[in-house]
Amino acid sequence: MNPPVESPADRFAELLVLSRAGKRLPVEQWHPGHCGHSDMRIAADGTWFHAGSPIGRKELVRLFASILRREADGSHVLVTPVEKLDIDVEDAPFIAVDADWEGEGPARRIIFRLNTDDVVACGPDHRLDVQIDGDGCPRPYLHVRGGLMALVNRATFYRLADLALAEGAEPPGLWSDGAFFPFMAEAGDAA
């Protein structure tokens, strides 16, 4: 007797259950054939769109975020065990909307909350990189996973910058999980 054939709807429901349970899906292990474009995009403000309309259900955004992967060429895809679809990302796919910390100096740990309600502890595996844009303004990004980035929103970055300035490090920056993250690009760094 042959095992029952699993439908795409069954696989989607399975992914939804795992996502709801907060399980990290092994998207880096999935290598299906390319199936086209998802007709989805993530705007620079972190809003997810499908067919030009914003996706209003946060649970659905969280599910899609859990199957998001960055490819070696820098493109973004939504991937499941059976299909891979392109998705347009205007800047970073996530926004870090808040941060909290405990400890001081090298013993500090900074925890960021993303617009998807995921939390990421800044440290050697989840670096905070402050780039300088063409207007000389800082653009802080947090490495989330597998090359996926979160833009740190302005209010959160200003809170962290105030803390860094109060500590007086040269160059200004902060420690988290034993790593120091400068807030100024080094001379010669790309903007």
- At residue 52, does pLDDT exceed 80? yes
Per-domain residue ranges of the chain: 8-89, 94-182
* CATH class for the domain made up of 8-89: alpha beta
Other CB atoms within 10 A of residue 143 CB: 18
Claim: this prediction has a pTM higher than 0.85: no
Average pLDDT over residues 142-168: 95
- pLDDT (0 to 100) of residue 134: 86
**CA 132/CA 144 separation, integer angstroms:** 20
**For 7-27, what is each residue's pLDDT tens digit?**
555 555 555 555 455 567 788
- On the CB side of 112, CA atoms within 13 Å amount to 31
Which is it for strands 148-152 and 94-102: parallel, antiparallel or unpaired?
Answer: parallel
Assess if CATH 2.30.270.10 describes domain 94-182: yes
- At residue 186, does pLDDT exceed 90? no
